[in-house]
Structure 1
Amino acid sequence: MAIPTANYLSHNLQIEAVQTCPPRSVTAEPRPTRRVSVTDDLAGTGIFSKCLNMILCYNKSTEEDTGYLVAGWFKESLGKAMSDLPMLSGRFRVPAKGGEPAVVANDSGVRLLEARIPMSLKQFLDTKDKEDIEAKLVFWKDIDEEIPQYSPLVYVQVTNFECGGYSVGISCSILLADLFMMSDFLHKWANIHSKLMEQIGEKKKVVPLFYFHNDEKSKIIPTILTNSDQRKNGSQTIIFKNVVARENPGFETEPYKNLSFQAIKKAEKQMGVEIGPKISLIIQVSADMMKIGSFQKDGDEVIVGSKSNGNYEDALSNAKWDDLGEICFHEKNKADYVSYWIGSKHGDDVILIAIASSQDKGLHEKSFVLSIPN
């Protein structure tokens, strides 16, 4: 009898529960708002479909360490974590009569899903071509272009493997990618969850209120309600960082505009490819302002600045998210596998995200995340 392949099994992933997780406390007025300045047609930027994806896979460490229990307690721990960063539970709004679109922290919540897949974690890790499976381990629904205010901007999917291992898949709108990458949110959330599990461990076995595991065959959520727009198109993600002592940590003045261009040139040199010519650009101008647009690498210098004012390539250093493997949701159980990529409806998109974050002692860090199709 032929043994089903990992790719075949991945198509049998089943969503077992879907719920909404709001912040634990109501966000105080005035609610945080992130304005979105768009240089092109809003729909033409592809901003409704672009998202950051992360997958963390864990082997079962104890009897209590299961994906079902982790997901059950996520409702509480994630709610607490979002109280300090309510923008993650917000929604994208487009004014009816002109005005600038924005993400508003309205406490609508993130979407939390539980799933199971008929394979072991080892089967997944041993599979050479993981792209099809990884796309199933995270859930994403494109923001509705007509009524975006009803679309979640963050999804969390906990997938249970047959061996007892599980994965935590996170997808978020590209408009919020910097909050996951630069705010240390994942570590804060994991610490909150670990402390919660310690408190529970001191008592007798406690089943979370939102516990959907059933020893019998669970009811499957209808496909029409859980049709994911997730995709993984074989793109590569490369990250550069630049730390400087400047009064202005943003991207409004030189040399920060030039750094965006130099990040592209450095990626071309390292990867031995030519990027472009059209590049989608997302710039975090400040904590409450994003700039969205596109430019022709060799023609349009309005956004990235002049190429003739100096070479800043040497100021950029390679960076990775290696510390993601240190995120432990249960005791000291570290992730056995970590993956991250930028998702886009169009597989040939080159995407550059420029992020600014303040640091201590007057130092300011700039991060440049490039998603490049193979």
Structure 2
Amino acid sequence: MESAQSIVPIKMTDPRVTRRVSVADSDICQSRFHIIFYYNKMSSQESAWTLAGWTRESLGRALHEQPIFGGRLRRGEEAEGVLEIVSNDGGIRLFEVRISKTLAEFLDLEEREEAEAELLYWKDIDEENPQFSPLFYFQVTNFQCGGYSVGISCSLLLADPLAIICFLSRWANIHSKMVSETEMTKPPLFYTPKFKPNASFYTNQVGSNEVKDRRKPLIFKTGKLNPNDVETRKALVLRCIEEAELKLGGKRASKFSLIVKTHSEPEEIEVESYLRQGLMEEKPLSFSSGISCGSWDDLGASEVIFYEGYKPVCVSHWIGSAPGEGLLVLTPCPDESVSEVFNVVVTIS
């Protein structure tokens, strides 16, 4: 590891945005979405080091537009078990790392999925003092050939995978436009090679076992539904679980958590826990609105471009959560013309 720093919005957030989080099970606090973008070597004047150096400004601009991504969890004062995410400008953590392999060598590794634990960073949220824990981590890894990767880890309480990719696309657009208008022969102010590297005391909690056993999520799109109807949610959970298990196979999880982004004002996140046995015994009403399987290729991850002409050559993603548990994230469709249609991200053990 060559450097670590915090990226904050370019201007103070005022007024601050607050999002209420109702949590029944504390394990859900550690659930996160990981995504890694791989890029080939750029021109001699542009490198992963300059990408990280200019990021302080470009990501700062993106955070100014969506300050919640630089926020923190805190204990609410209203009721026990209620948390809040507040856009307090705590910032995103950025790490710059060097690896002793070329990009081609790394992508050809038989154990690549395990090795990808080195390409991103995560530290579990401190449940006693959550206000000190970042919810979003960003790591730039430099390969020997000049290629590089961008690894993202983001709490699922902060944003669902679709919202995360939308944020990354907006940031990449800001970055691409900014550097095209800048004298790129001049290194950015925060240019790591100008400084003597220091040994890092940071401990990465993304272990190789998690990456090896990672669970790639499926995406479903629902018909029209009322997300505030508890019985409808139970029926949807059961239907999505059955569909995911048919497609993915593997061991069946005995417990599932559902993260729901509501339409309330202010915005609220509700987290519910279900036992498979309990759902089966209840036999909730069948989900009549129907669901269809979506594709990750439609989310635009391959269009996250920081420098014009350099699309990612590979994108890897998965969800990290408590072992042996399934996880569902219910979020409104981004298309406002179909406001009653929802996306469901599902991962099973």
- Normalised to the residue count of structure 1, the TM-score between the two structures is 0.84
Q: State the partner residue of 1:289.
A: 268
Paired letter, 1:237: K
- How many residues end up aligned between the 2 structures? 342
The answer as to 2:238 corresponding to 1:265 is no
Q: Does 1:68 align with 2:66?
A: no
Counterpart of 2:13? Answer: 27
Cross-structure match for 1:299: 278
Cα distance in structure 1, aligned partners of 2:50 and 2:8 = 19
**Cα distance in 1 between the residues matched to 2:38 and 2:83:** 36
Of the three residues 15, 25, 32, the one matched with 1:51 is 32
Question: Which residue of structure 2 aligns with residue 36 of structure 1?
Answer: 21
The answer to whether 1:220 aligns with 2:198 is: yes
1:78–1:182 Cα change, 3 Å: closer
Q: Structure 2: 5+ residue runs without aligned partners?
A: none
Inter-CA distance 197–365: structure 2 relative to 1 (3 Å threshold): farther
Summarize the Cα distance change of 1:284–1:90 in structure 2 as closer, same or farther, 3 Å threshold: same
Question: Out of 163, 188, 204, which is 2:145 matched to?
Answer: 163
Deviations 1:150-171 (A, max 9, x none): 1111010000000000000010
- Correspondence for 1:178: 160
Change (3 A) 1:251 1:95: closer
Aligned residue identity for 2:83: P
> How far 1:239 sits from its partner (Å)?
2.2
Letter in 1 for 2:102: S
Amino acid at match of 1:221: A
Gaps of 5+ in 1: 1-14
Q: Equivalent of 2:295, from 315, 319, 322?
A: 319
**Are positions 1:112 and 2:91 aligned together?**
no
337, 346, 357: which one pairs with 2:333?
A: 357
Q: How far does residue 76 in structure 1 lie from its aligned partner after superposition?
A: 0.5
Distance 1:110 1:170, change over 3 A: same
CA gap of 1:251–1:338, structure 2 versus 1, over 3 A, is farther
User: SS of the counterpart of 2:29?
Assistant: coil
Single out whichever of 226-235 and 93-102 deviates more from structure 2: 93-102
How far did residue 128 of structure 1 move?
A: 2.1
Q: Distance in 1 between matches of 2:108 and 2:342?
A: 36
Q: 1:179 & 1:318 partners in 2: Cα distance?
A: 13
Q: CA deviation at 1:97?
A: 7.8
Q: Distance in 2 between matches of 1:92 and 1:106?
A: 10
Distance in 1, Cα, partners of 2:57 & 2:4: 15
Over 3 Å counting, the alpha-carbon distance change for 1:315 and 1:324 in structure 2 is same
TM-score by length of 2: 0.89
> Of 215, 223, 238, which residue of structure 2 is paired with 1:236?
215
Matched, 1:337 2:314: yes
Two-structure CA RMSD over aligned residues (Å): 2.5
Is 1:152 aligned to 2:138, yes or no? no
Partner residue, 2:171: 189
Q: Deviations over 1:193-227 (max 9, x none)?
A: 00011001xx361211111115x9x42333xx310
The amino acid across from 1:210 in the alignment is F
State how far apart, in whole Å, the 1-side matches of 2:272 and 2:287 are.
24
Is 1:125 the counterpart of 2:101 in the alignment? no
Q: What's the % identity of the aligned pairs?
A: 35
